[in-house]
Amino acid sequence: MTTLAIVGATGAVGSVMIDIIDARESVPWSEIRLIASPRSAGRRLRVRGEEIEVVALSPEAFDGVDIAMFDVPDAVSAEWAPVAVSRGAIAVDNSGAFRMDPEVPLVVPEVNAEQAHTRPKGIVSNPNCTTLSMMAALGALHRAFGLRELVVASYQAASGAGQEGIDRLQAEISAVAGKGVGHRRGDVAEAIAAAGLPVDSPFNAPLAMNVVPFAGSLRDGGWTSEELKVRNESRKILGLPDLRVSATCVRVPVVTTHSIAVHATFANDVDVAGAHQVFAAQPSIVLVDDPESKRFPTPIDVVGEDPTYVGRVRQALDFPNTLDFFVCGDNLRKGAALNTYEIAEELVRA
């Protein structure tokens, strides 16, 4: 008898969580409990054919829960994950609240599943979606070749900024469509303003027909929180505290699925054939790398998919032991809901 709770069940990631549970052939849960803010309490959602009433977040809501998955803002997780633990649950948290806490493991099951079983605080953290988009690929390559350096540039989807981000992008696309803009400085912003959209946007600049080299919040040295997460979380997940990382995080006008251009240097010799072998052997990776037939991953081919798609694998011409490649991963699935759920499955298997 095992009870799973979804905290934030009515949010964007929460609903993908329910889709994932619905699609599983079988689940190890005797009860699934849906928890959300009091505002959403009382709503009824269908999970695996059964209507379940959403209950309001409270200490008692966690009574009898074995594993509680949190998809809520950092501050809510910071307050409520320890409450869930105090009521006897293991918390699997997809916020940034505990990721870098040395007493909280940061887990990608195909990379470091064993770490989920040592959790001094009763909490397991799920990595940031950008880090997760490339981690299956990097974990597999690291096991084979020994990762040493990482230079990455991201192409991040609007849904990384939640439903608000999706709505904003769709509204901006409608505002610029058919207007023939993009030829003159300012014409895209004018078309967006003319459609009545507020100047304030979750992206800090127009995203339609544009790219925005800023995601997250500003930290020391001009780095963004998003760029530092890619560095610090990659180091922690891979167990490489001295891994050299530089990341530039850029938002692009894509609804869902983050893409990353990766330049990775290893301790050992690597070539394209060896990398292809490693990727092909990893069940959570789909290798799409036949550029002669114009086959390479693009985000719209990966949305809704569980695996990480990898392509454009090249041996660096001028850097020893180095590969350049391109990855696409659905930021709402492997980047959030799926990995969180896979951690819960790992915990219940133990």
Site for a copy of itself in 297-316 (CB under 8 A): 297-305, 311-316
What residues numbered 244-263 form the site for a copy of itself, per CB under 8 A?
Answer: 244-246, 248, 250, 252-256, 259, 261, 263
> What angle is formed at CA 168 by the lines to CA 246 and CA 164, rounded to 5 degrees?
80
> In terms of C-beta density within 10 A (0-12 exposed, 13-18 middle, 19 or more buried), how is residue 199 classed?
exposed
Q: Which is nearer to a copy of itself, 3 or 315 (CB)?
A: 315
Q: Name the phi and psi angles at 16, rounded to 5.
A: -65, -35
- Assess 215 for contact with a copy of itself (CB under 8 A): no
The separation between CA 11 and the C-alpha centre of its own chain, rounded to angstroms, equals 15
Burial 325-342 (b: 16+ CB within 10 A, else e): bbbbbbbbbbbbbbbbbb
- Assess 224 for contact with a copy of itself (CB under 8 A): yes
58 is in an annotated binding site: no
* CA gap 9, 285 in Å, rounded: 28
331 is in an annotated binding site: yes
Residue 328 is a catalytic residue: no
14 is in an annotated binding site: no
Question: Exactly one of 75, 272, 280, 281 binds a copy of itself (CB under 8 A); which one?
Answer: 272
Q: Rounded to the nearest whole angstrom, what is the least distance from the CB of residue 33 to a copy of itself in the complex?
A: 27
Choosing from 249, 258, 263, 276, which is the catalytic residue? 258
Helix (H, G, I), strand (E, B) or coil at 142: helix
The distance between the two most distant Cα atoms of the chain, rounded to a whole number of Å, is 63
DSSP E strand stretches across the chain? 3-7, 31-36, 44-47, 50-53, 55-56, 67-70, 90-93, 123-125, 147-155, 244-248, 258-266, 285-287, 308-315, 322-329
Interface segment toward a copy of itself; rule CB under 8 A; list 30-38, 42-50, 139-147, 213-221:
213-221
- What are the angstrom distances between the C-alpha of 130 and each of 71, 159, 220? 16, 12, 20
- What are the angstrom distances between the C-alpha of 280 and each of 124, 260, 272, 284, 301? 29, 19, 12, 9, 19
Counting residues that bind a copy of itself (by CB under 8 A) gives: 78
Choosing from 117, 129, 249, 276, which is the catalytic residue? 129
216 is in an annotated binding site: no
Rg, C-alpha atoms of the chain = 21
Q: Rounded to the nearest whole angstrom, what is the least distance from the CB of residue 137 to a copy of itself in the complex?
A: 14
What residues numbered 144-183 form the site for a copy of itself, per CB under 8 A?
Answer: 149, 151, 153, 155, 166, 170, 173-174, 176-178, 180-183
Question: Exactly one of 89, 104, 107, 188 binds a copy of itself (CB under 8 A); which one?
Answer: 188
Yes or no: say if 116 and 347 are a contact pair by the CB < 8 Å rule: yes
Residue 258 is a catalytic residue: yes
Question: Exactly one of 76, 212, 240, 348 binds a copy of itself (CB under 8 A); which one?
Answer: 212
Yes or no: say if 262 and 326 are a contact pair by the CB < 8 Å rule: yes
10 is in an annotated binding site: yes
39 is in an annotated binding site: yes
Question: Exactly one of 101, 110, 306, 324 binds a copy of itself (CB under 8 A); which one?
Answer: 324
Q: Rounded to the nearest whole angstrom, what is the least distance from the CB of residue 339 to a copy of itself in the complex?
A: 19
49 is in an annotated binding site: no
Interface segment toward a copy of itself; rule CB under 8 A; list 37-45, 117-125, 136-144, 291-299:
291-299
Catalytic (active-site) positions: 129, 258
- Which residue numbers belong to the known binding site for NADP(+)? 10-13, 39-40, 159-160, 331
